[in-house]
Structure 1
Amino acid sequence: METDVVHIRPARAKDASALADVYAEAWRGAYRGIIPHLSLERMIARRGERWWKAALADRRPLLVLDFDGAASGYVTYGRCRSGRAPFQGEIFELYLHPVYQGLGLGEKLFERARQRLFDLRLRGLMVWALTDNDSACAFYLSLGGKPVAEGAERFGDISLRKVAFAWS
C-alpha cells in the first residue's frame, strides 16, 4: 500500500493556524538581518491565525504543501498586479517552513501555481523578491527566471531593493 506523505492541495479553513506558523517561521528565516527587526515582527504579528482565517474565507487562490496532514508551506498567485505585458500571471508569495526548505518542495509548489495560472489562461509569470534575499533570488534563477524589473519596498524607515523574475 502506497501513501502520499507530501502533496499539494487547495488551502482549507482548518489550515489557518499552520499557515500562520509557516509564515512566521519562513519570514524570520528569510528576512532576519534584512528587514529591520521591529518591522519584521510587526508584519508577522499582523499575519496571525485570525488574518489567515479571513484570507481563507475570502477564497483567495492559495495552495498548501501538505506534509502528513499539516500545511507546511504555501503559494498564492493570480493576475499580475503590475500589468506588465507579456506577464499576465504572478506568484505573490511562496514560503515553506524552514524544516522543509532545500528538499525540492518549493519547486513543486512553484510548478503547481504556474500550472494553475496557465489553466486560468494567464500567460507569462512574474514573481518579486528582495535583492538581499539571496536564497529566494537563487531559487528563482535556478527555475529559469530572468530578471526583468527592479523596484523598492519600504520597511519602516528604510527602503530595500527588489527584483522581478519572469518566465514567458
Structure 2
Amino acid sequence: MPTAPALTLRPATTADAPLLAAMHAASWQSTYCDLLPAAFLEQEVDTERAAYWRARMVAPGEDRRLVLIAELGDQPESRTPVGFVCAERQPGSPWGALLDNLHALPGHQGIGVGKRLMQAAQAWARAQGESRLYLYVLEGNESAIAFYERQGWQYSGAEPDHMGGIDITALRYVYRLDTA
C-alpha cells in the first residue's frame, strides 16, 4: 500500500521571496475570487505580492518573524511547495503576535497543511513568550473563518481595510496560547 508523501516545514530565506509571492497570489486568486475585483486578481496581484515579499524578506526584524514553507515529498530535491505561514511579534499589541499569513495552496487544502503550519506558528509564539496570537480574515471568507473557529480561534472585532482597490472588512480572531 503506497504511503502519502511526507509534509515538511522549512524556514524561508530571502531567495524564497518569489516562491512566497507566487503561492500568496495563487491563494488569493482562488480564495478571493468572489471577494476582490477580478481585474486586481488577474492583472495586479502577482506584481503586488512580488514587491511585498521582496521587501518583507529583507526587512529588518527577522528575529521577530517566522516564515515557514510547507513542502510535500520524501526527498529534498523533489519536494513540492504547498503552503506557507508568516507570524510576527508585534511589540505593544494588545492581541499578541500576528499570524499574518497562513496559506495552503488550492488542491492541497483539507490534508492538514494549514493545521500543521498553524501549530508551528503557535509553538514559535509560545517560545517567544507570547500568550496570544491574532489574525485577520476577510469578511465573507467563510471557509477560512470555519477553519479558524474549528481550531479554537475566537472572533474579537472587525476593522475597515482596503485591498485590491476596494474597501473591505477584516475580521480579527484571537487564539489564547496559554490555554491550548
Residues 79-112 of structure 1 deviation map (CA, whole Å, 9 limit, x = unaligned): 247822xx21110011121121111210010010
Aligned ranges 1:1-168 → 2 under 5 Å: 5-40=6-41, 41-48=43-50, 52-58=53-59, 59=62, 60-68=65-73, 69-80=79-90, 83-84=93-94, 87-155=95-163, 158-168=166-176
User: What TM-score do you get using the length of structure 1 for normalisation?
Assistant: 0.84
CA contact (8 A) 1:151 1:162 kept: yes
| Superposed displacement of residue 72, structure 1 | 1.9
SS at match of 1:65: strand
CA contact (8 A) 1:126 1:165 kept: yes
CA contact (8 A) 2:82 2:113 kept: no
| Superposed displacement of residue 42, structure 1 | 1.9
| Superposed displacement of residue 22, structure 1 | 1.2
Q: What amino acid is aligned across from residue 97 of structure 1 in structure 2?
A: L
Q: What amino acid is aligned across from residue 82 of structure 2 in structure 1?
A: S
SS at match of 2:107: helix
SS at match of 1:109: helix
CA contact (8 A) 2:6 2:72 kept: yes
Separation in structure 1 between the aligned mates of residue 118 and residue 170 of structure 2, nearest angstrom: 19
User: What TM-score do you get using the length of structure 2 for normalisation?
Assistant: 0.79
| Superposed displacement of residue 67, structure 1 | 1.7
Flag structure 1 segments of 5+ consecutive residues without an equivalent: none
CA contact (8 A) 2:66 2:124 kept: no
Corresponding residue number in structure 1 for 2:76? none
| Superposed displacement of residue 63, structure 1 | 0.8
User: Structure 1 residues 71 and 14 mapped into 2: Cα distance closer, same or farther (>3 Å)?
Assistant: farther
User: Structure 1 residues 91 and 74 mapped into 2: Cα distance closer, same or farther (>3 Å)?
Assistant: same
CA contact (8 A) 1:8 1:64 kept: yes
Report the count of equivalent residues. Answer: 164
Separation in structure 1 between the aligned mates of residue 16 and residue 81 of structure 2, nearest angstrom: 6
User: Structure 1 residues 130 and 51 mapped into 2: Cα distance closer, same or farther (>3 Å)?
Assistant: closer
Q: What amino acid is aligned across from residue 43 of structure 1 in structure 2?
A: V
